[in-house]
């Protein structure tokens, strides 16, 4: 499904105040994983700045042991420090990659900002080599912007 058709659905989910924030975040994960073929694991990590750790929030996909990630470790941990999107076309070529599953070939992580502060991120794994484009980045920035409005 094209990103432009998903945007209003993301907005509808995020603005549904009859659900908790975590319920809405899980629905966003389910929407993306269901409608974008190469999004095989979709989840949110949130920063605990005092401990310099990321904590796993709602997600869809294979279970992961990586429920807490130190800042700087792995792709997610690097985004917590850099405050910038990180697109990994081939996880096997990354030195500082935390393997979640042998099926994962690529990853994209986009930070979530609230009042200019990096409070978390959306993390997407793909079993397809090099699937992410600039359109994915722009769409996920949109998703993160909408999510930031409810955090």
48-99 pLDDT, tens digit per residue, is 999 999 999 999 999 999 999 999 999 999 999 999 999 999 998 887 777 6
Alpha-carbon distance values, 88 to 11, 16, 67, 123, 127 (Å): 27, 33, 20, 11, 12
Among 3.40.50.800, 3.30.450.40, 3.90.1150.10, 3.40.50.10490, what is the CATH number of 3-148?
Answer: 3.30.450.40
Q: 117-131, pLDDT tens digit by residue? A: 999 999 999 999 999
- With cut-offs at 50, 70 and 90, classify the pLDDT of residue 27: very high
pLDDT at 14 exceeding the cut of 90: yes
pLDDT at 100 exceeding the cut of 80: no
Residue length, the chain?
Answer: 151
Note whether 1 and 35 are within 8 A (CB): yes
- With cut-offs at 50, 70 and 90, classify the pLDDT of residue 133: very high
Alpha-carbon distance values, 65 to 33, 71, 132 (Å): 20, 16, 24
Residue 141, φ and ψ in degrees, nearest 5: -65, -40
Domain ranges of the chain: 3-148
- Model pLDDT, residue 95: 78
- Which pair of tokens denotes residue 33? 């994983």
Q: Which residue has the tokens 């058709």?
A: 5
- Which pair of tokens denotes residue 97? 């990659």
- Model pLDDT, residue 90: 95
pLDDT at 5 exceeding the cut of 80: yes
- Which pair of tokens denotes residue 130? 């090099």
Partners of 125 in the β-ladder: 41, 107
pLDDT at 20 exceeding the cut of 90: yes
């Amino acid at each position: 499904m094209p990103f432009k058709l998903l945007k209003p659905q993301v907005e509808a989910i995020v603005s549904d105040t009859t659900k908790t924030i975590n319920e809405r975040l899980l629905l966003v994960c389910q929407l993306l994983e269901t409608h974008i073929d190469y999004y095989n694991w979709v989840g949110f990590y949130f920063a605990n700045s005092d401990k310099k750790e990321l904590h796993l929030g709602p997600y869809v996909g294979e279970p992961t042991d990586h429920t807490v990630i130190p800042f700087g470790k792995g792709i997610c941990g690097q985004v917590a420090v850099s405050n910038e999107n990180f697109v990994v076309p081939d996880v096997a070529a990354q030195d500082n990659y935390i393997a979640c599953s042998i099926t994962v070939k690529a990853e994209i992580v986009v930070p979530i900002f609230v009042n200019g502060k990096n409070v978390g991120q959306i993390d997407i794994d793909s079993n397809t080599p090099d699937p992410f484009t600039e359109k994915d980045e722009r769409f996920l920035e949109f998703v993160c912007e909408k999510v930031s409005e409810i955090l």
